[in-house]
């Protein structure tokens, strides 16, 4: 559903606007007025006024006439005065999309709990978006008009056509939507209202003789004749049409007709609230309208009196004109060098920041600079390209002929591509007008409305910048997949189009206010009516259905982003233009003459390659372009790639927060998945995400600056071209092996080719890494004199991430090393000690006690001083550290503190990190109450930090010793070779869902690194040995964390049942289809030969659409996005794309849902822990930053932060987290039936077969069980008795449920902590010789030796097979219930308070 957009959340100081007379035809409101439910309270329906005494009261009930202005009732939502000191977020609306939460939720009210406390939980109140049956099928009907078929695509085309004033085409699209899509009337009238408003906008700008009659006809033919219920906004538009059309005897007929269509109750207010009609319009209407009853006449008189009273300026306003005076212009600050005016017109904003400290500017000026940065980054890039091109021309050089000056060459690309797009724009009208459209015409009709929303020049610049960014991120000298390139390009172009639309609306709003200030005696549009002339509306956020409390009302279509079909068509056209127009000069050495030969070549090439047996399209940059990018950074970035120069905007909506102007989303959504967005918007509206959004705001408000000392060393190291720390060498010394002579043995040459490919891949990786690091240094150089900020959003699990992509504190060691807090804190009594501990930690000495770490720094003072005074020419001690650049930063900070007169008074800015001990295992140990596991992850007090990785390594060693005693060959081969490093990565990732194949690969990588000659020494392939070691690691984990192991199984079993369930809504639909089979469509051909609702067992099982949804302790709903999306072929001008486009109607991917649930659940818990900690740290005045489970603050505040971390963890786990989840599941999935598996050899299965004989179809059993459940739940004793007498498989099973266990889910063997999947459950693509069973296979020495004696070719022919153990079962529909919660261990989480090493 489409509703009006809220204004931007910025403070506006607006003048008092007086509306007396009509100066020009009134511009109607951007969006239609929506009907307000009768049960909406005055508090929920907040009026758009800031002074109550200036607005009249509203009638509240049918029996009460219009009251006087002194009545205590709700006021009319008309903006007549906006106080300058009031934030726009606080301006009330008639139907607020995001109402402010109650004080009890926000924590701002007196006596309310602090924000960092966990709120109460009611499982019955969790948000639920019901799963219904199939969505309307996509119409595949051919059309000669070049229109898409899906409702989302057609709605997007419709809105785009309105935005670019293509009303004729918009009418065609709307006709097709009505004809082939069964949309609700509420959605249809919204579309009609937008069309009518667009017609009014065109009429005001370009009056035409026939426009009024066409709109009158549209209303009669498309709205009245088709029975679409109109709204007051519709009538207001038609009244405006009547008043602006040629006056005559038809005017009275039109006015009386349209007003008679409205209910008499509140008729005038509802029309006036639409914002379409002015006071003068109402005066004209009052002289014409002849109401059919006295009540309507009285209502008109009262309304007119109130309107006139409201429009009359008050004495207070006249006496205090400065209270609501005009917004002052941004003051230019007098300064030397680069001033604000210069900043506004610089060629490249990023580089113009060098040497200028924006902190000298006022907050207003810095916000203006940030807004300019976000708005003008594209224009600034074009200006920079143009200037460098002109400078080369003045020097007598041409960018085309030169080999350097990348930016100058980009300007040639820009101008050439712009001309190509201008030619393409010229073909749009021709393609839409021609009757017999070719395939190219049809394609142009698809993407023309979207490209028209921008300009050729801007499209060209955005295309160039986006493509170069994508190639850089993927690896400058690697093949970039075409699909990924188009995805990124389409997203960037769409964001830029929406940014331009927002700028246009803001400019028009300012224009209307300026006119109002110039002549306050004349009638001007109010803010609500003048907010925009663009008819494009935003998607209505998901809301709770009236009277349903927590049931989310799903939007009919998603207009928050362009549909994937149209996204990729637009992106393909833009990319194709760049591929054709971008050229670069390539200089090579002639192989014979050795002369330097130059030639103009395409900058990019589009081709196809084979990857994993599939043919995919790729884009390859020219080697000359790669060399330019390697030596010269682009100097042009999109604003969303850069840090902010002011504090980010607070998050107030799903798409409002972070950057000031650039669009961004609160939750990162991939592949246009809707579920998470629907739930998140509903949670925001209900006020559930106050803690989450405020915590993200806390992270964004942390100020940063460049550590100039470290940056200077890094820049010097970079310019040497050598491999220093993690900087890759400019020219890596990786010689290719000599090519072998011709030999009859093809294995020799195959081995040589393999080594050559490995070296080429390594070279390519180092090259790409250096290119990416070059861009990071370029940004750091530009921002080295500034204070900057990282706005944050989060993924669907609640984990926070900074929005700037290239440089942020979550980057690699080189980025973390050059970042420090902008605000400093004195070290105080304990800060110096923590500064020393930080140095030991980043050096890699982090497993010792805190006292030993402090002593480590004291014992290396000379080396620390040498690292600071001679970082590149001295002993280079800092390069021996685990995190070299962070170590160097700690050295500089510690030296500065020790050299100061009083180290305790030294103002430190270095972030000191406190890292959790395998944070996922910490949560699992607390959930399962595992005392032994808790000890290994530092949840209990101890004198030294425990090391879970060393503990697991010891258990693996013990198991191997036992196998050695039993004569195992594999155990003997690995005896004495197990170290902490071998097991660390597998232990760390096992808790987050690593597969067994992934674990084997991790162990194999470590073993090959530690023991390069392992195969020659042991006689066993490393792949086989890694499989053996992985089994031992998994076994050790399952032993150490028994309670966590049981919880993971419980989570997996719950997920498996939910994914095999049908909701009550789906069951209702199935019953309805059985009673009233759908009629076959004669005119519309569906994409499948099967009926819309198939009766077969296979298609019934495809109805499983219930995904796993849960609520975090901070009330954030988490929705797992894993579904079996259809592969859809999208035809583009480059190639056909096979894309998986997820829909809410797709069946769930049960395996992914089940596997991902346990790790995602843990991720949501550690995210909640971090956000809670951020809130309390902010309240205590600490600077706070986080990298998932690594938390940063000043050295002086580490002790305080550690106390906060412990308290937050205890608060989360002092509650029954698993019990809370179980109660939520029971409430969320109540009434569902799931398809259970019962062992065929069990007594229950035998009883079912004996009682029922030949069982009916699966659907018949389903409906019969549904009827039984309905009868049992009835309040009528007779129906209950009838239900008890019914015999179904479920009723028979219930008699055995105490002794009969259901079969576990077939995928449950991959979710348990330390579990090894059964054979065949995972496909091993990397290991030639497979161990079939673990851990039994390692003892079968004879079979293993036989396998090892085979060549690789023979192994493929004689692949060992194993008869898969199969258990026969029968399917039974059961009420969806969940297994009992595993028993918790005796570990008390409050013991954590005394642990010094929980985070250290």
Strand order across the 1061-1062 sheet: 1061-1062, 1233-1239, 1369-1375
What is the mean predicted confidence (pLDDT) over 292-313? Answer: 54
What is the structure's pLDDT at 1164? Answer: 93
379 vs 439, higher pLDDT: 439
- The three-class DSSP label of residue 704 is strand
C-alpha angle with apex 711: 706 to 716, nearest 5 degrees?
A: 160
- The three-class DSSP label of residue 819 is strand
From the list 307, 580, 636, 572, the residue with the least C-alpha distance to 443 is 572
Q: Over 80: is that where the pLDDT of 1390 sits?
A: yes
What is the mean predicted confidence (pLDDT) over 1341-1370? Answer: 52
- Answer yes or no: are the C-beta atoms of 43 and 100 closer than 8 Å: no
How far apart are the C-alpha atoms of 282 and 897, rounded to whole Å?
74
Partners of 653 in beta bridges: 656
Q: Over 80: is that where the pLDDT of 310 sits?
A: no
3-state secondary structure 430-486: HHHHCCCCCHHHHHHHHHHHHHCCCCHHHHHHHHHHHHHHHHHHHCCCCCEEHHHHH
**DSSP H helix total and E strand total for the chain:** 49, 28
What is the structure's pLDDT at 250? Answer: 77
Token representation of residue 646: 């002011």
- The top-scoring range by mean pLDDT among 225-239, 678-692, 1361-1375 is 678-692
Strands (E) across 1172-1259 are located at 1185-1187, 1190-1193, 1233-1239
Partners of 1185 in beta bridges: 1192
pLDDT, tens only, 212-266: 788 888 888 888 888 888 888 888 888 888 887 766 677 888 888 888 787 755 5
From the list 447, 500, 487, 492, the residue with the least C-alpha distance to 465 is 492
How far apart are the C-alpha atoms of 1193 and 1184, rounded to whole Å?
5
Judged by average pLDDT, the poorest of 605-614, 670-679, 1293-1302, 1372-1381 is 1293-1302
What is the mean predicted confidence (pLDDT) over 958-978? Answer: 86
Token representation of residue 1071: 């019953």
pLDDT band, residue 631 (cuts 50/70/90): low
Q: Over 60: is that where the pLDDT of 564 sits?
A: yes
CA 860, distance to chain mean position in Å, is 45
pLDDT band, residue 399 (cuts 50/70/90): very low
The number of residues in the chain equals: 1400
User: Distance of CA 1275 to CAs 1267, 1280, 1284, Å?
Assistant: 14, 8, 14
Question: Regarding beta strands 543-544 and 552-553, do their DSSP bridges make them parallel or antiparallel, or are they unpaired?
Answer: antiparallel
Match 């073993």 to its residue by tokens: 1007
What is the structure's pLDDT at 1104? Answer: 80
Token representation of residue 566: 């149209």
Q: Over 50: is that where the pLDDT of 796 sits?
A: yes
What is the structure's pLDDT at 340? Answer: 32
What is the structure's pLDDT at 1297? Answer: 65
pLDDT band, residue 517 (cuts 50/70/90): low
pLDDT band, residue 137 (cuts 50/70/90): very low
How far apart are the C-alpha atoms of 464 and 1091, rounded to whole Å?
47
C-alpha angle with apex 192: 433 to 266, nearest 5 degrees?
A: 160
What is the mean predicted confidence (pLDDT) over 346-369? Answer: 67
Question: Regarding beta strands 583-589 and 552-553, do their DSSP bridges make them parallel or antiparallel, or are they unpaired?
Answer: unpaired
3-state secondary structure 233-255: HHHHHHHHHHHHCCCCHHHHHHH
How far apart are the C-alpha atoms of 1296 and 1285, rounded to whole Å?
17
What is the mean predicted confidence (pLDDT) over 294-321? Answer: 50
Partners of 1123 in beta bridges: 1148
What is the structure's pLDDT at 405? Answer: 61
pLDDT, tens only, 259-270: 878 775 556 667
Please give the full DSSP string across 609-635, using - where no structure is assigned: EEETTEEEEEEEE-HHHHHHHHHS---
Judged by average pLDDT, the poorest of 2-11, 224-233, 763-772, 890-899 is 2-11
What is the structure's pLDDT at 19? Answer: 32
**What spatial distance separates the first Cα and last Cα of the chain, rounded to whole Å?**
50
From the list 1311, 612, 1365, 1324, the residue with the least C-alpha distance to 1024 is 1324
Residues sharing a CB contact under 8 Å with residue 530, sequence separation 6 or more, in sequence order: 27, 508, 509, 512, 513, 524
What is the structure's pLDDT at 814? Answer: 92
Active site residues: 915, 984, 1189
298 vs 892, higher pLDDT: 892
Judged by average pLDDT, the poorest of 454-468, 542-556, 813-827 is 542-556
User: What average pLDDT is seen over the chain?
Assistant: 75
Q: Over 50: is that where the pLDDT of 76 sits?
A: no
What is the mean predicted confidence (pLDDT) over 667-676? Answer: 82
User: Distance of CA 95 to CAs 41, 46, 48, 234, 716, Å?
Assistant: 11, 7, 10, 17, 59
pLDDT, tens only, 1200-1235: 999 999 999 999 999 999 999 999 999 999 889 988
Q: Over 80: is that where the pLDDT of 864 sits?
A: yes
What is the structure's pLDDT at 1308? Answer: 53
pTM attached to this predicted model: 0.78
pLDDT, tens only, 921-955: 889 889 988 888 888 888 989 888 888 888 888 88
360 vs 784, higher pLDDT: 784
What is the structure's pLDDT at 1258? Answer: 82
How far apart are the C-alpha atoms of 1086 and 1080, rounded to whole Å?
10
What is the structure's pLDDT at 801? Answer: 93
3-state secondary structure 114-175: CCCCCCCCCHHHCCECCCCCCCCCCCCCCCCCCCCCCHHHHHHHHHHHHHCCCHHHHHHHHH
Judged by average pLDDT, the poorest of 42-56, 174-188, 532-546 is 42-56
How far apart are the C-alpha atoms of 1057 and 1052, rounded to whole Å?
9
- The top-scoring range by mean pLDDT among 181-195, 760-774, 1043-1057, 1194-1208 is 1194-1208
Q: Over 80: is that where the pLDDT of 122 sits?
A: yes
Phi, psi (deg, nearest 5) at residue 1399: -125, 125
Q: Over 50: is that where the pLDDT of 138 sits?
A: no
What is the mean predicted confidence (pLDDT) over 1244-1263? Answer: 83
Q: Over 50: is that where the pLDDT of 1088 sits?
A: no
Q: Over 80: is that where the pLDDT of 210 sits?
A: no
CB contact burial 744-774 (16+ within 10 A = b; e otherwise)? eeeeeeeeeeeeeeeeeeebbebbbbbbbbb
Share of the chain above pLDDT 90, in %: 18
pLDDT band, residue 389 (cuts 50/70/90): confident
What is the mean predicted confidence (pLDDT) over 386-414? Answer: 66
pLDDT band, residue 1111 (cuts 50/70/90): very high
Q: Other C-beta atoms within 10 Å of 813: how many?
A: 19
469 vs 524, higher pLDDT: 469
Q: Over 70: is that where the pLDDT of 18 sits?
A: no
From the list 738, 367, 413, the residue with the least C-alpha distance to 575 is 413
Match 């082939």 to its residue by tokens: 180
How far apart are the C-alpha atoms of 1159 and 920, rounded to whole Å?
8
Q: Over 50: is that where the pLDDT of 344 sits?
A: no
- The three-class DSSP label of residue 1186 is strand
User: Distance of CA 1350 to CAs 890, 1329, 1332, Å?
Assistant: 55, 9, 16
747: DSSP letter? H
Q: Over 60: is that where the pLDDT of 482 sits?
A: yes
How far apart are the C-alpha atoms of 284 and 297, rounded to whole Å?
15
557 vs 806, higher pLDDT: 806
pLDDT band, residue 1334 (cuts 50/70/90): very low
What is the structure's pLDDT at 513? Answer: 60
- The three-class DSSP label of residue 1209 is helix
What is the structure's pLDDT at 749? Answer: 83
- Answer yes or no: are the C-beta atoms of 454 and 607 closer than 8 Å: no
Q: Over 80: is that where the pLDDT of 1360 sits?
A: no
Report the phi/psi class of residue 798: left, alpha or beta, with left for phi > 0 and alpha for psi in -120 to 50. Answer: left
458 vs 1089, higher pLDDT: 458
In sign, the C-alpha dihedral spanning 410, 413, 419, 425 is negative
Match 């769409």 to its residue by tokens: 494
User: Distance of CA 651 to CAs 636, 648, 798, 1342, Å?
Assistant: 28, 9, 14, 65
Q: Over 90: is that where the pLDDT of 83 sits?
A: no
3-state secondary structure 1243-1266: HHHHHHHHHHCCCCCHHHHHHHHH
Q: Over 60: is that where the pLDDT of 365 sits?
A: yes
What is the structure's pLDDT at 574? Answer: 92
């Amino acid at each position: 559903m489409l509703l009006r957009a809220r204004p931007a959340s910025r403070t506006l100081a607006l003048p008092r606007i007086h509306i007396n007379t009509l100066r020009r035809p009134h511009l109607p409101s951007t969006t239609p007025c929506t009907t307000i439910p009768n049960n909406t309270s005055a508090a929920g329906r907040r009026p758009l006024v800031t002074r109550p005494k200036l607005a009249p009261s509203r009638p509240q009930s049918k029996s009460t006439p219009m009251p006087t202005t002194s009545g205590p009732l709700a006021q009319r939502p008309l903006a007549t005065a906006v106080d300058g000191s009031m934030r726009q977020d606080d301006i009330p609306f008639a139907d607020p999309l995001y109402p402010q939460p109650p004080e009890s939720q926000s924590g701002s009210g007196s006596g309310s709990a602090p924000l960092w406390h966990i709120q109460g939980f009611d499982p019955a109140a969790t948000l639920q978006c019901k799963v219904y049956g199939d969505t309307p099928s996509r119409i595949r009907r051919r059309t000669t008009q070049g229109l898409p078929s899906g409702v989302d695509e057609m709605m997007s085309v419709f809105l785009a056509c309105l935005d670019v004033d293509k009303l004729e085409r918009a009418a065609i699209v709307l006709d097709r939507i009505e004809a082939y899509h069964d949309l609700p009337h509420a959605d249809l009238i919204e579309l009609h209202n937008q069309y009518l408003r667009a017609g009014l906008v065109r009429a005001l700008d370009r009056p035409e003789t026939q426009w009024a009659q066409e709109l009158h006809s549209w209303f009669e033919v498309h709205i009245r004749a088709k029975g679409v219920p109109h709204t007051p906004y519709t009538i207001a538009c038609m009244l405006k049409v009547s008043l602006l059309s040629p006056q005559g005897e038809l005017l009275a007929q039109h006015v009386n007709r349209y007003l008679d269509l409205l209910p008499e109750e509140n008729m005038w207010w509802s029309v006036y609230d639409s914002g379409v009609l002015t006071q003068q319009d109402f005066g004209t209407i009052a002289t014409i309208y002849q109401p059919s009853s006295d009540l309507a006449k009285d209502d008109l008189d009262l309304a007119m009196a109130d309107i006139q009273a409201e429009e009359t300026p008050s004495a207070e306003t006249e006496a205090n004109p400065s209270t609501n005076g005009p917004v002052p212009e941004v003051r230019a600050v007098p300064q030397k060098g680069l001033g604000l005016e210069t900043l506004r017109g610089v060629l490249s904003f990023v580089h113009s920041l060098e040497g200028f400290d924006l902190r000298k500017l006022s907050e207003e000026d810095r916000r203006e600079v940030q807004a300019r940065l976000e708005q003008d980054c594209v224009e600034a890039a074009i200006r920079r390209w143009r200037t460098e091109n002109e400078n080369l021309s003045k020097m007598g050089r041409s960018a085309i002929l030169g080999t350097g000056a990348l930016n100058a060459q980009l300007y040639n690309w820009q101008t050439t591509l712009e001309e190509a797009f201008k030619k393409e724009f010229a073909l749009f009208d021709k393609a839409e007008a021609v009757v017999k459209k070719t395939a190219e015409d049809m394609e142009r009709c698809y993407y023309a409305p979207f490209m028209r929303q921008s300009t050729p020049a801007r499209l060209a610049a955005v295309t160039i910048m986006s493509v170069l960014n994508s190639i850089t991120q993927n690896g400058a000298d690697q093949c970039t997949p075409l699909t990924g390139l188009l995805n990124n390009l389409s997203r960037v172009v769409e964001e830029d189009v929406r940014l331009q639309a927002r700028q246009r609306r803001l400019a028009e709003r300012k224009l209307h206010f300026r006119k109002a200030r110039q002549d306050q005696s004349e009638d001007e549009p109010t803010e609500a009516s003048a907010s925009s002339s663009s008819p494009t509306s935003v998607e209505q956020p998901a809301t709770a259905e009236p009277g349903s409390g927590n049931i989310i009302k799903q939007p009919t279509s998603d207009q928050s982003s362009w549909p994937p079909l149209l996204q990729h068509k637009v992106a393909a056209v833009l990319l194709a233009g760049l591929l054709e127009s971008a050229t670069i000069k390539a200089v090579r050495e002639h192989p014979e003459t050795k002369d330097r030969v130059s030639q103009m070549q395409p900058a990019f090439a589009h081709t196809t390659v084979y990857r994993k047996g599939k043919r995919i399209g790729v884009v390859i940059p020219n080697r000359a372009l790669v060399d330019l990018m390697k030596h010269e950074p682009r100097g042009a970035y999109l604003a969303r790639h850069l840090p902010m120069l002011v504090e980010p905007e607070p998050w107030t909506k799903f798409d409002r927060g972070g950057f000031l102007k650039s669009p961004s989303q609160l939750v990162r959504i991939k592949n246009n998945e809707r579920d998470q967005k629907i739930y998140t918007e509903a949670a925001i509206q209900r006020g559930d995400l106050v803690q989450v959004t405020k915590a993200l705001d806390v992270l964004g408000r942390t100020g940063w600056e460049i550590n100039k000392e470290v940056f200077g060393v890094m820049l010097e190291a970079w310019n040497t071209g050598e491999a220093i720390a993690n900087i890759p060498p400019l020219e890596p010394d990786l010689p290719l092996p000599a090519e072998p002579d011709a030999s009859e043995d093809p294995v020799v040459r195959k081995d040589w080719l393999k080594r050559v490919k490995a070296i080429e891949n390594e070279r390519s990786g180092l090259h790409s890494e250096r290119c990416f690091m070059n861009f990071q240094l370029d940004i750091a150089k530009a921002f080295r004199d500034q204070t900057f900020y990282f706005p944050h959003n989060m993924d669907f699990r609640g984990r926070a991430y900074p929005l700037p992509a290239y440089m942020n504190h979550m980057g690699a060691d080189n980025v973390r090393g050059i970042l420090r807090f902008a605000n400093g804190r004195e070290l105080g009594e304990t800060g110096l000690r923590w500064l020393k501990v930080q140095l030991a930690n980043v050096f890699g000495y982090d497993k010792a006690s805190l006292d030993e770490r402090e002593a480590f720094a004291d014992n290396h003072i000379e080396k620390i001083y040498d690292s600071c005074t001679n970082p590149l020419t001295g002993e280079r001690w800092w390069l021996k550290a685990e995190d070299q650049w962070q170590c160097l930063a700690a050295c500089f900070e510690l030296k500065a503190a020790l050299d100061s007169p009083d180290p305790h008074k030294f103002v430190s800015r270095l972030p000191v990190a406190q890292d959790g001990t395998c944070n996922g295992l910490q949560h699992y140990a607390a959930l399962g109450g595992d005392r032994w596991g808790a000890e290994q992850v530092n949840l209990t007090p101890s004198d030294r930090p425990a090391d879970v990785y060393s503990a697991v390594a010891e258990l693996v060693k013990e198991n191997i010793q036992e196998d050695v005693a039993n004569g195992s060959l594999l155990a003997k081969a690995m005896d004495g070779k197990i170290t902490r490093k071998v097991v660390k990565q597998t232990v760390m990732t096992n808790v987050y869902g690593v597969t067994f194949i992934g674990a084997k690969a991790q162990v194999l990588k470590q073993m090959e690194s530690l023991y390069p000659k392992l195969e020659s020494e042991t006689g066993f392939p490393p792949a086989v040995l890694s499989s053996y070691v992985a089994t031992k690691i998994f076994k050790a984990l399952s032993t150490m964390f028994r309670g966590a192991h049981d919880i993971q199984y419980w989570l997996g079993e719950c997920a498996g049942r939910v994914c095999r369930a049908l909701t009550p809504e789906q069951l209702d639909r199935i019953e309805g289809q059985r009673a009233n089979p759908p009629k076959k469509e004669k005119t519309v051909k569906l994409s499948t030969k099967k009926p819309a609702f198939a009766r077969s067992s296979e298609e019934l099982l495809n109805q499983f659409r219930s995904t796993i949804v849960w609520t975090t302790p901070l009330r954030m709903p988490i929705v797992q996005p894993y579904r079996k999306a259809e592969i859809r072929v999208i035809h583009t001008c480059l190639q056909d794309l096979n894309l998986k486009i997820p829909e809410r109607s797709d069946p769930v991917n049960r395996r992914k849902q089940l596997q991902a649930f346990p790790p995602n659940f843990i991720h949501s818990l550690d995210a909640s822990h971090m956000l809670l900690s951020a809130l309390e740290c902010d309240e205590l005045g600490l600077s706070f930053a986080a990298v998932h489970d690594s938390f940063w603050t000043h050295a002086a505040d580490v002790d305080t932060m550690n106390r906060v971390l412990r308290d937050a963890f205890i608060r989360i786990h002092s509650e029954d987290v698993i019990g809370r989840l179980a109660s939520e599941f029971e409430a969320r999935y109540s009434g569902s039936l799931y398809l259970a598996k019962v062992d065929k050899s069990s007594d229950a299965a035998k009883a079912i077969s004996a009682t029922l004989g030949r069982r009916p179809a699966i659907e018949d059993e389903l409906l019969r069980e549904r009827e039984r459940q309905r009868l049992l739940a009835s309040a009528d004793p007779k129906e209950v008795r009838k239900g008890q007498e019914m015999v179904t498989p479920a009723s028979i099973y219930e008699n055995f449920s105490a002794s009969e266990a259901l079969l576990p889910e077939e995928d449950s063997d991959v979710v348990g902590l330390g579990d090894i999947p059964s054979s065949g459950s995972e496909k091993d693509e990397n290991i030639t010789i497979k161990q079939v069973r673990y851990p039994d296979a390692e003892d079968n020495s004879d079979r293993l030796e036989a396998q090892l004696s085979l060549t690789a070719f023979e192994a493929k022919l004689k692949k060992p097979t194993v008869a898969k153990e199969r258990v026969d079962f029968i399917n039974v529909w059961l009420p969806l219930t969940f297994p009992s919660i595993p028993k918790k261990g005796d570990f008390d989480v409050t013991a954590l308070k005394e642990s010094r090493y929980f985070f250290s």
